[in-house]
Amino acid sequence: MDIENIKQFFSGKYEFIKLLGRGGFAEVHLALDKMLERKVAIKILLPQHASDPDIVKRFIREARLYAKLEHPNLINIYETGIAEGTAFIVMKYVKGENLKTFIQKDVKTRLSLAPGVIDALSGAMNYIHEKGIIHRDIKPANIILEDGGDNIYLADFGIARSVSSQTMTQTGSIMGTPYYISPEQIKGGVVDQRSDIYALGATLYELVTGKPVFSADSSVEILYKHVNSEPEQIGKVTPEISKRLKYIITRCLEKNPDKRFQSAIEISETISGRKNGSITKYLNSIESGRKNGKKRIAFVFLSLIIIPLIAFLIYKNTIKSGTEISKDMQNNITRPDIISNIKKDADEVPEKLIERKDSGVTELEEIKTVNSGSPEKTSVIKKDKLPLRKDQETEKSKKNRVVPTEKKIVKSISDKPGILRFSSFPPADIYWNGLKLGDTTQIFKKEFPPGKYKFTFKIEGYMSMEKEISVEPGREISAHHRFSPYGFLTITARPFAGFFINDKDHGENPIFEKKISVGKYYIKAVKKGYTTEERVIVIENMKKSNISFSLKKEDKK
């Protein structure tokens, strides 16, 4: 059923005025409630998604979550349902702009709005978190400003979840927008209220600086930065920012959830001034950590590049001049504290080549030292024996020769991305987090940071498949799927009943055009107080099948 038919269906109750906006799954219309004489916003699922049970379920779940909530910074829901097979939500109409468009304004205007945004959102977040709901998609586009920011609303609960929901602890499931998603969710960890707090921090960072926390050419790179990189310092981008705002945003963006605010009420208390104690101390510790990080980088550079270079130049000059290096100079080049520091920053210490002399031959021994550096943990590998030259002058120069330590650094493999090799039969489109990566008409490869990911393999005429794959550092892994054909199954019952397909419980609501693999199925309709009915149905490729049950009340005799 198309949108125009929906308008016709509602014509007795609502008068449609104009289209307010359209997203990937639904569009929102401004309408007039004729009976109550008030403007409302009607969110209607797009026709192409109306037959997808997963999308319909998500849409209805949003309405049910909204309907349970009453807070001044959340939009009220008036009505929800399914009209002629299409889901809809009727909600309060908020006249204004979203925060995403507001961010285009000048920095002074943005900074003046920030405290109000923090106060409103922390209050709304604390309320829904106490109700056991995690929003999971807090971002500027989902924050509505009414009357220039006098009223601020948190909207769009389309991918919200209950804290107790099983999906909250599933690994590899990435839901949300890449610019605002928390590191633990990217890594497949547990998502709780602190993930919403990170998203709030990313939203506020963009509000005060005018740009996202991280930017890159692809979503994968952005997600990698959330886990591994530090954002540009807020004070450098926006020097006018207050200490309090800087503290709130920086702490919200801590990569470790335990270091963030542990609840939204803490944010509310901080912005209101009821909690002040740790602001200066925290910012000083952050700044101190950055300085120490810079010193460490400089020291590592000095240890691994400059000192070996100096040693090499001294050695080279000595060989040219034919003079012997003094013992003091040798000791200075190979001081234990320098070598110790080099060992700390390298995965494998340098190799040494040492000469041994015995009767008539010289052996070169390669000594590898284990990270502990202890003599007991060294292994000696004998190289090919080399004949000595008879030239006495050469023998003398060998005695005077000092062989420098070779500085060979091996980079840790844990920092390397892994490679996934995608293929399928028949060829299909590959999606990750809603983004199309490519198709398998030919095998293709992609690099990913180490971690767990879920990919969807899609092809018309076959059942889509979601695969969870672990990417390991520096390894190439195959991601392959062989498809099974599917058909469509619609099940209804009067009155509503619980449905079992091959003895698996599929809930109590009617099932609208569920995708199901080709084959034979046993369908059972169950309702307390009514007789149980069973049917057998054969699903054929790309064909629609319908089953309707009319349950009879049980005879109580």
Annotated catalytic residues are 137
Q: Report the alpha-carbon distance of residue 144 to residue 209 in Å, rounded.
A: 19
CA-to-CA distance for 99 and 133, rounded, in angstroms?
22
What angle, 0 to 180 degrees and rounded to 10, lies between the N-to-C axes of helices 243-252 and 279-301? 60
Positions of E strands within 279-360: 352-357
SS3 503: coil
- Give the dihedral sign, CA 217/219/225/230: positive
Task: Report the 10 Å Cβ neighbour count for 191.
Answer: 25
Place of tokens 């240890």: 303
What are the C-alpha distances in Å from 419 to residues 309, 426, 427, 444?
A: 36, 22, 20, 10
Long-range Cβ pairs for the range 543-546 (8 Å, 24+): 543/487, 543/488, 544/487, 544/488, 544/489, 544/490, 544/513, 545/487, 545/488, 545/489, 545/490, 546/489, 546/490, 546/491, 546/492
Q: Which helix H or strand E contains 146, and what residues bound it?
A: strand 143-146
Secondary structure of residue 214 in the 3-state scheme: coil
Which structure tokens are listed for 288?
């101190």
CA–CA separation, 102 and 149 (whole Å): 10
Residue 213 gets which letter from DSSP? S
Give the alpha-carbon dihedral of 199, 65, 165, 454, to 10 degrees.
-60
User: Which 3 state secondary structure label does DSSP give 200?
Assistant: helix
- Alpha-carbon distances of 470 from 280, 437, 476, 490, rounded to whole Å: 41, 17, 11, 35
